[in-house]
Amino acid sequence: RNRSVGAIVALDPVPSRTAPSMGPSVVMGLRALLEPSAIALDNALSLQKMEALSVTDDLTRLNNSRHLYNVLRTEVKRAVRNGRPLSLLFLDLVTFKLVNDTHGHLCGSKVLVEAAAVIKACARETDTVARFGGDEFSLILPDTGPDGAISVAERILERMRVTRFLADDGLSVHQTASIGVATLFPESPKTAEELIKEADMAMYRVKAAGKDGLHVSQEGS
């Protein structure tokens, strides 16, 4: 389809005094030989792209909830097997509905994209950041106990408080977050679903207490 998907390189160990060249018959032979491989590579790249899209949120380009569940189930098993803690953050944007009501849904979508960038920048390379749905985000923090999880949550809160959203549109929108923290300890294992429920409940404790803060779950509290 007139598109380059790769290159094959041949090296001649004998030095040449002239530029190398291949006759038409050699070129045609190489094309016939390489075309099936090129098609297979193109198909593999297309499949890889489709697989990436299936676990990526269309708007924010973060992982989606489907990928979050898959990664969390794997990390829960690994944490229990290796005797290491695992933490999960659940985050809800505080005044997101007000943005939609005041500036429209297009601006609301831009706020989600900008918030995703802030959250992603506060995470570590080993963390998994996902948009759970709507204005809710989640972070999986491997090998992390409550203290480390609180540090990440506080970093997110601080960055959210000082960020002025929609600045490129001539606006200065303030946005904060409610964050719930839940931790799995190997001596008290939980399922991925139980950990999500705990973090979600902790987040709603923050929202009920006035929003813009964090709450650490203590065995579901």
Residue pLDDT, tens place only, 133-154: 899 999 999 999 999 999 999 9
* 150, amino acid identity: I
Distance between CA atoms of residues 76 and 195, nearest Å: 9
Q: Over pLDDT 90: what percentage of the chain?
A: 66
- The per-residue pLDDT for range 6-51, each reduced to its tens digit, is 788 888 888 888 887 788 998 899 888 888 888 888 878 777 776 6
Number of other residues whose CB lies within 10 A of the CB of residue 59: 13
Residues with Cβ within 8 Å of residue 125, at least 6 apart in sequence: none
Q: To the nearest whole number, what is the mean pLDDT of the chain?
A: 90
Residue owning tokens 């409940």: 201
Distance between CA atoms of residues 187 and 152, nearest Å: 24
Distance between CA atoms of residues 149 and 183, nearest Å: 8
- The per-residue pLDDT for range 184-204, each reduced to its tens digit, is 998 888 999 999 999 999 999
- Residue from 179, 138, 188, 140 nearest 161 by CA: 179
3-class DSSP assignment, residue 128: strand
pLDDT of residue 45: 78
pTM above 0.85, yes or no: no
- Residue from 105, 44, 90 nearest 207 by CA: 90
The H or E element spanning position 87 is strand 86-93
Sheet holding 177-184, edge to edge: 128-133, 136-142, 86-93, 177-184, 213-216
Q: Is the pLDDT of residue 3 over 90?
A: no
Of 33-37, 81-85, 153-157, which gets the smallest average pLDDT?
33-37
Distance between CA atoms of residues 199 and 194, nearest Å: 9
What residues does 216 pair with on adjacent strands? 181
- Report CA dihedral (181, 204, 60, 49) to the nearest 10 degrees: 60
Confidence of residue 220 (pLDDT cuts 50, 70, 90): very low
- Averaged pLDDT for residues 127-133: 94
Higher local confidence (pLDDT), 44 or 70: 70
Active-site positions? 135
Higher local confidence (pLDDT), 6 or 122: 122
The answer to whether the beta carbons of residues 68 and 192 sit under 8 Å apart is: no
Q: Is the pLDDT of residue 53 over 70?
A: no
Distance between CA atoms of residues 8 and 99, nearest Å: 53
Distance between CA atoms of residues 92 and 211, nearest Å: 9
- Averaged pLDDT for residues 91-109: 93
Q: Is the pLDDT of residue 92 over 60?
A: yes
